[in-house]
Chain A
Amino acid sequence: MLILECPYCGVKAEETELSPGYEAHLKRFGPGSSDDEFNDYMFARKNPKGVHFERWRHAYGCGKWFLAARCTATLEVFGTYPAQSSEPPADLVAKIKAKRPDWSGYK
């Protein structure tokens, strides 16, 4: 029963107020892309046992999508940030690296 803090309204929302949206920072491939690009966009998922970046919507609250860095093995949440980000904020990345020195990074 996760708690994630919505970066828009500041509510520490419990999981039942949120809807999950799986992997964050996917780049969309539309017409003109190769079969591989489109396949990877749609299906190839990171699914790490460890630090993961993912989408959540504060569905029962302010309705905004946001992104979270969370460990899938311990459920520790390192931070949340707005969905209008093309990659994780640098301070969050630094915080995760400090906590998880073995982490191979966001890419």
Chain B
Amino acid sequence: MTASRRVPWTLIVFVVLATVPWVGSRYDTFLAAQIVIDALFAVSLNLLLGTTGLVSFGHVAYFGVGAYVCGILMKTYGVPFVLAFPAAGLGAALFALISGYFCVRLIKLYFAMLTLAFSQIVWAIAYKWNDVTGGDQGLPEIPYPNLDWINALPGCGDLRISDKFYLLTLALVAISLAVLHRIVRSPFGRMLTTIRDNPERAAFIGVNVRAYQLAAFVVAGAFAGAAGALYGIFSRGVFADYVFWSKSAEVIIMAILGGMDFFWGPPVGALVIVWLNQKITAYTEYWPFVLGAILLVLLFALPGGIVGGVHALWTRLRGRGRA
């Protein structure tokens, strides 16, 4: 099976997504932006959940730190996006390094609880530190970065600023996902999967389990921060609500709904959740109820997620075809 003979699905998907501002409505662009940002967020979580086997219940903290760092730098200090965006990733990574150092010392449920606690500390700070974070008012009206250079590209001259930012977001997410994909497939990624599968044995083939877990935690935190930074600008503001613990649960649901054993599972989960959310909130305010019901179906009927289910079905059909 050579790479050249395979259909470049991911490339096709990204090209299709890039056409949205031209072929779709303003609302479609809005939806697409949310999906790609959430996809990055969910994939970063899955580096912990699916790849390393760490159940983080506070991943939204790093998303939030990224959003606030970028938002504060751009709005309060007028720092350009080119600097503020990497700063958001670095800030989130730094916070992940500090909190992760303590979290990886714990196992299982205790790990989940400590990550939850750290995320609630971030929430408490965001909610109360009026001078810096805007407190419960949040930080509205974060400026768009200057994107005039996009005008130079063919066919982009008459795009709205929000469309341009969407294209920038798409490009940044694509690069981030490519990097994450590479990391998961790298020797380092292989080490993480051994830890997920059997941490005790991993130590006995010479893996420093905690150090690798911490490294994964920091990488996941950095990309969550990047997603947060994009989200803050995209939604025109950063608010304490972004950091509340139930958001961590939501992104876990995305990862599991898509299928956490597969790299492209979480993006599929993000797509389904965001799309369903938009469709259902148009009819009823009881979105959480629907989400809960989806979760129940998932837990009891489809534990491998959508991609996992499709994969199992595909394997079975192919097996039958051969037999």
Q: Do A and B bind?
A: no
